Amino acid sequence: MIEFSEVTKRYPGGHEALANVSLTIAQGELVFLTGHSGAGKSTLLKLMAAIERPTSGQIIVNGQSLGRMKRAALPYFRRNIGLIFQDHKLLYDRSVFDNVLLPLHIQGLTGPDAAKRARAALDKVGLLGRERARPITLSGGEQQRLCIARAIVSRPALMLADEPTANLDDAYAREIMDTFLAFHQVGVTLVISTHDQNLIRRYGGRTLTLANGHLTEGAAESPAGRDAALLTP
């Protein structure tokens, strides 16, 4: 599903966010991405979603090489990815329902079909009763669930979540994680970045650890890959 080979990302100004990262994530995997703040978790997710481009190295997601992808092809690539942001990135000028409709409108789907799918997505995250509400009136946990509903409404095979539980208390965080787990069980590939070690312990799953832009643990899921990862300091 996702393959990084010797990927380096240097931002303008010289800051090296990721150095020589190689990793493979198979279809249907649940992967936690962890590490201290500034270790490169967000950058790694942004590279997977082609929000940023690598300075060097190759990235293949969904069988598509992102380095060579044309600008015009990007939107179509993104439609197959469900993105969940720490700050939700909701649109506050429209209802909960319209927020979930947006990805469908972007794909040219309107009318009763779209409404049905939007309702199904809201139902899955437990927000069906709030569809006419404004996002600003929702709690932090509800806003995060709305963000998830928007990400899943186009039924992506891959979901990338950047610190989805960072601003939530434990009960809310658990709710969100349970939602994620349900998607994992139906075959969705999930990459979740978090610095909450308790969460990782509770839910298990494979863990990729980043430190100062280097991948220090969990580079490949195959045993051979795991050994190789252990050998690199």
Partner 1 sequence: MRVWITHHLHSLKIALGRLRASSAASLMSVLVIGVALSLPASLYVLLANAQRAAGNVSVQPEITAFLKLDVDDMAAEQMAQALAKRPDAGAVTFVHRDKGMDKLRKAGLGDVMAGLSSNPLPHAITLAPTGADPERIDRLAAELRQHENVEQVSLDANWSRRLAAILAFGRELVWLLAVSLGIALAAIIGNTIRLQIYAQREEIEVSRLIGATDRFIRRPFLYFGLLQGLVGGLAAWGMVSLLIALLDGSVARVALAYGTRFSLAGLAAQETLILLGLACVLGFTGAYLSVTRTLRHFN
Q: Interface mask (CB under 8 A) for partner 1, residues 114-153, using x and -? A: ------------------------------------xx--
Q: Which amino acid is at 70?
A: K
Pick the stretch among 3-11, 104-112, 193-201, 213-221 that binds partner 1 (CB under 8 A).
Answer: 104-112
**Should residue 154 be labelled a site residue for partner 1 when binding is judged by CB under 8 A?**
yes
Q: Is 51 in the site for partner 1 (CB under 8 A)?
A: yes
Task: Report the 10 Å Cβ neighbour count for 21.
Answer: 25
CA-CA distance, 178 to 199, in Å (whole number)? Answer: 11
Asked if residue 97 lies in contact with residue 131, where contact means CB atoms within 8 angstroms, the answer is: yes
Q: Minimal CA–CA distance to 122: which of 91, 154, 155, 146? A: 146
> Minimum CB separation from partner 1 for residue 229, in Å?
30
Question: Distances in Å between the alpha carbon of 155 and those of 71, 88, 149?
Answer: 23, 18, 10
Contact between residue 140 and residue 167 where contact means Cβ atoms under 8 Å apart: yes
Of 35, 54, 57, 103, which lies in the binding site for partner 1, with binding defined by CB under 8 A?
103
Nearer to partner 1 by C-beta: 22 or 154? 154
In angstroms, how far is CA 72 from the centroid of its own chain? 22
> Are the C-beta atoms of residues 59 and 4 closer than 8 Å to each other?
yes
- Does 110 help bind partner 1 (rule: CB under 8 A)? yes
Which residues in 170-189 contact partner 1 (CB under 8 A)? none
> Does residue 43 touch partner 1 according to CB under 8 A?
no
From residue 100, alpha-carbon distances to 76, 95, 110, 113, 119 in Å are 18, 9, 12, 13, 8
Q: Using the rule CB under 8 A, is 155 a contact of partner 1?
A: no
Residue from the set 91, 181, 182, 228 that interacts with partner 1 by CB under 8 A: 91
Residues forming the site for partner 1 (CB under 8 A): 49, 51, 72, 75-79, 83, 89-91, 93, 102-103, 105-111, 150-151, 154
